[in-house]
Amino acid sequence: MIAQVLNRQFVLDQLEEVRRELQEAATPERRTMATATEGPEIEPQDAALALAAIDEALQQETLASSGQKGFEPPPPERRGEEPAPIDDFSFFSRDAVLSNLQSALEHVLTEKEKLAQSDLPDDRRSFQDDVAVTDVSLADAPPPSRDLDGRRIFDKFSIFDIRWVSSLVAEGVRKLRGRFPFPDEAATAVQIGDRARLVVVGDWGSGLPRAQKVANEMRKVLDEGIAHQREQHVVHLGDVYYSGWEYEYRNRFLQYWPVRLGEEDRITSWNLNGNHDMYSGGHAFYGYVLQDPRFKRQEGKSYFSLRNDHWTLLALDTAWEDGGLQGHQAQWAQRTLTDSSGKGMLLSHHQIFSAYESGNDVLSEKIKPVLATGRVKSWLWGHEHRCVFYDPYQGIDARCLGHGGVPVYMTHAENDPYPAPAFYEYRDFIDKGLERWALFGFAVLDFDGPEIAVRYIDENGKEHQRERIA
């Protein structure tokens, strides 16, 4: 990912340019020789659709940033310098239009203009520990500076191929408005062994150097499992950034996925739907990444179950309907639980509650009959880019595992109290540089008859927590 595209102000500057270009395209008669730029023709109706979406996004954005909330930098006395907002370095927007713009910018700057390059000299490329967010930036852009408030800013930078960017944004908006039809059917239920292993990571699809480190650590766990002849499954809890375009699945997800092509009969891969996967309508989620042989057991579906004699795991799609539960998933989950024995575990992208942000009301409401069976013991979710354990709440032990690949500040000291109902949060961070970047990680679930031994491992391979779910 390019540093500039991770900066909110840079993105908003480019949005102005795109808006201007689309205005021209929406009313072609206004275009003059002097204003015409190179690039593909954009259909006037596509331009108009994109313009309306952009205006709506801009209106929202002026009220409040759509970037990551709850990660205000630590106070100056802890840092010794004026704090910089997270939007300066790690702008992951929850607005679909801005996310599509980021996807478009990245695509054109990398593949067409070839302006992005690594800041790291080659001999340091293997020591990526130094890279908190990204080591890629625009070659021709002036270096970032800080304004009077200490914010990191990039000087105005004109993209030569703004017509290409605009055309891609218009395409993204068109796909967003015409979503991939929801395949309202579960994949064939999969029987797993009593000693199966599940490796779970959430919000990992950034392709950033530290997300790659997470994949390397996951791979070590898989290698160990292979040596012990364990049945193994790897689950992604969703979100490939910025907006689930095919090139993003290729370059940020499949390229680093810890299961290699050719291993699909030995290790099964699963991928849940996330809000970012749906920002371009889910077309590449269903039509591209789920078609990869490693994900074949999913049969192109976004909800599925795994079970053995003691446990029934139900993976839900909470993103096709953003923060909801599209189709007949609730009935399916209820039925599957009643037809099986043992305890239930849910897996999803979105949460129903949080110690730091709000839950998702639609999902909470729709999942009620499933929870009312009294069979759901635990729930693993992502979305919020943290690692948080919750006390039993609404009858379930929930674990948030959204700390797989999106850089956030660690805003709490190790001994700060946990806001209820949380009882643990992984709070280690990169202990160098000005910003305190929280460490990424994942979980390893080893089924052991009626119990599950769980280990929580960070990007450096350190096991920071373990527990038994029974």
Q: What residues line the site for Fe ion (CB under 5 A)? A: 239, 274-275, 383
| Of residues 303 and 447, the one with the C-beta less far from Fe ion | 303
| Of residues 47 and 237, the one with the C-beta less far from Fe ion | 237
Element (H, E) at 466: strand 463-469
Q: In angstroms, give the least distance from the CB of 440 to Fe ion.
A: 15
Q: In angstroms, give the least distance from the CB of 349 to Fe ion.
A: 6
Element (H, E) at 463: strand 463-469
| DSSP symbol at 298 | G
How does strand 451-458 pair with strand 441-448?
Answer: antiparallel
Reduced to 3 states (helix: H, G, I; strand: E, B; else coil), residue 443 is: strand
Q: Answer yes or no: are the C-beta atoms of 455 and 401 closer than 8 Å.
A: no
Cis peptide bond prior to 242, omega within 30° of 0: yes
Please list the residues that pair with 429 across neighbouring strands: 438
| Of residues 196 and 272, the one with the C-beta less far from Fe ion | 272
Cis peptide bond prior to 421, omega within 30° of 0: yes
| Of residues 49 and 211, the one with the C-beta less far from Fe ion | 211
Q: List C-alpha distances in Å: 136 to 120, 156, 172, 233.
A: 8, 18, 24, 32
Q: Answer yes or no: are the C-beta atoms of 459 and 214 closer than 8 Å.
A: yes
How far is it, in rounded angstroms, from Cα 214 to Cα 234? Answer: 13
Q: In angstroms, give the least distance from the CB of 127 to Fe ion.
A: 30
CB-based closest residue to Fe ion: 383
| Of residues 149 and 361, the one with the C-beta less far from Fe ion | 361
| Of residues 39 and 402, the one with the C-beta less far from Fe ion | 402
| Of residues 89 and 381, the one with the C-beta less far from Fe ion | 381
Reduced to 3 states (helix: H, G, I; strand: E, B; else coil), residue 377 is: strand
Quote the tokens at residue 67.
């970037």
Q: In angstroms, give the least distance from the CB of 189 to Fe ion.
A: 26
How does strand 197-201 pair with strand 232-236?
Answer: parallel
| Of residues 383 and 412, the one with the C-beta less far from Fe ion | 383
Q: What is the DSSP string of 23-58?
A: HHHHSGGG--TTT--SS----HHHHHHHHHHHHHHH
Tokens 């990039």 locate to: 154
How far is it, in rounded angstroms, from Cα 123 to Cα 317? Answer: 43
How far is it, in rounded angstroms, from Cα 145 to Cα 89? Answer: 12
| Of residues 301 and 386, the one with the C-beta less far from Fe ion | 386
Q: In angstroms, give the least distance from the CB of 352 to Fe ion.
A: 14
Reduced to 3 states (helix: H, G, I; strand: E, B; else coil), residue 434 is: coil
Q: In angstroms, give the least distance from the CB of 203 to Fe ion.
A: 6
Q: In angstroms, give the least distance from the CB of 276 to Fe ion.
A: 6
Q: In angstroms, give the least distance from the CB of 371 to Fe ion.
A: 22
Q: What is the DSSP string of 339-366?
A: TS-SEEEEEESS-S--SSS---HHHHHH
Q: In angstroms, give the least distance from the CB of 382 to Fe ion.
A: 7
Q: In angstroms, give the least distance from the CB of 271 to Fe ion.
A: 13
| Of residues 151 and 383, the one with the C-beta less far from Fe ion | 383
Q: At what angle do helices 162-177 and 8-26 cross, to 10 degrees?
A: 90
| Of residues 249 and 311, the one with the C-beta less far from Fe ion | 249
Q: In angstroms, give the least distance from the CB of 469 to Fe ion.
A: 24
